[in-house]
């Protein structure tokens, strides 16, 4: 992956002034509830630079990246989680992949998102429309991935993730995905929250958490003002005696490389290689997951195909 430059000097200085992105994990309420808090301002801004997304696209895909970082708290080691949404609305869907180690990548299936008229609110239900959400866990050492699917019920990523965990994994959960934009449409703060009931969690505890959610500080705003994810978790859940159990750095990262695409080109059928050889150069291939372009000159391509044609 090649990280594209964030050209806005003021935005770069602001990002630099913030605590590093990360995922903080807590146990609360006598260790019957697990809470993951993610700070993601740098990650979302780098995502925006690499994928060249507009305001609406950044809002939708940014939520997806934050969700991926939160979902990765459910796996460990070299395991990873894939979030795949296919839907009939203008976004078409999205694909997100996140590793337990904190790396997140992914893309919108329609970028840019074509709208009949400007959005009048942050209600994303019309952007999604009818569709399905699939969550897949790829576990190291396991021959087959674990996968669950639900029909979208809200057209709101946070609410549909909570629906997924309730229906597919029978785990009461709460998600909170937050992006703070400034007046110029720049992402000034971003973060997310994932609350998951553990064995022994009482209905009363969940009700108290749901009732208190309206009083919590806006997460994106808190991140934009320099609060770390750990500080947010300790403050927000102070009444539940939070126990901090893990810190994982989080960021936009993709394992793609030019060498990977060289292997892809070498494996193409002979007819496609001939079409490339007779086409225009440079040949530019894009990694959908991170927006990185890899350029191949005519000489490079001929060297890759030498002996094959």
Spans of all domains in the chain: 9-252, 258-305
* Bridge partners, residue 88, by sequence: none
278-300 pLDDT tens trace? 999 999 999 999 999 999 999 99
Tell me which fold the domain 9-252 belongs to: Hsp33 domain (3.55.30)
- Please, which residues have CB within 8 angstroms of residue 61's CB and are 6 or more apart in sequence? 47, 51, 53, 94, 106, 107, 108, 111
Confidence category of residue 309, pLDDT binned at 50, 70, 90: very low
Distance CA 289, CA 9 (A): 26
29-63 pLDDT tens trace? 999 999 999 999 999 999 999 999 999 999 999 99
233-281 pLDDT tens trace? 999 999 999 999 999 999 999 999 999 999 999 999 999 999 999 999 9
Distance CA 48, CA 6 (A): 9
Distance CA 33, CA 236 (A): 14
Alpha carbon separation from 309 to 210, 265, 306 (Å, rounded): 64, 13, 7
- pLDDT at 308 (0 to 100): 57
Distance CA 152, CA 145 (A): 22
Q: pTM for the whole thing?
A: 0.96
Left, alpha or beta for 244 (phi > 0: left; psi -120 to 50: alpha)? beta
- Domains 9-252 and 258-305 alike in fold: no
Cβ(109)–Cβ(92) under 8 Å?
Answer: yes
Q: Is the pLDDT of residue 117 over 90?
A: no
* Bridge partners, residue 173, by sequence: 196
Pick among 1.50.10.150, 3.90.1280.10, 2.60.40.10, 3.30.565.10: CATH of 258-305: 3.90.1280.10
């Amino acid at each position: 992956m090649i990280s594209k430059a964030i050209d806005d000097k003021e935005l770069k200085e602001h990002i630099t002034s913030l605590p590093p992105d990360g995922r903080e994990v807590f146990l609360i309420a006598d260790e019957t509830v697990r809470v993951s808090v993610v700070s993601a301002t740098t990650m979302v801004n780098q995502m925006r630079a690499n994928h060249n997304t507009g305001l609406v696209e950044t809002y939708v895909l940014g939520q997806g990246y934050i969700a991926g970082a939160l979902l990765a708290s459910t796996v460990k080691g070299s395991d990873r989680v894939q979030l795949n949404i296919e839907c009939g609305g203008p976004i078409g869907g999205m694909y997100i992949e996140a590793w337990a180690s904190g790396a997140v990548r992914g893309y919108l299936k329609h970028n840019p998102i074509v709208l009949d008229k400007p959005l009048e609110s942050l209600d994303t239900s019309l952007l999604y429309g009818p569709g399905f959400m699939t969550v897949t866990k790829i576990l190291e050492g396991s021959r087959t991935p674990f996968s669950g699917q639900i029909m979208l019920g809200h057209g709101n990523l946070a609410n549909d993730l909570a629906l997924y965990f309730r229906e597919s994994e029978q785990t009461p959960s709460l998600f909170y995905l937050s992006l703070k934009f400034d007046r110029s449409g720049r992402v000034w703060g971003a973060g997310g929250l994932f609350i998951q009931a553990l064995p022994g969690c009482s209905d009363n505890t969940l009700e108290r958490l749901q009732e208190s959610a309206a009083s919590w500080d806006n997460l994106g705003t808190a991140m934009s003002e320099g609060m770390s994810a750990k500080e947010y978790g300790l403050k927000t859940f102070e009444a539940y005696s939070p126990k901090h159990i893990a810190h994982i750095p989080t960021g936009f990262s993709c394992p793609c490389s030019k060498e990977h695409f060289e292997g892809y080109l070498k494996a193409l059928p002979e007819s496609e290689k001939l079409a490339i050889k007779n086409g225009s150069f440079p040949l530019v291939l894009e990694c959908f997951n991170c927006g990185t372009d890899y350029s191949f000159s005519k000489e490079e391509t001929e060297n890759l195909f030498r002996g094959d044609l």
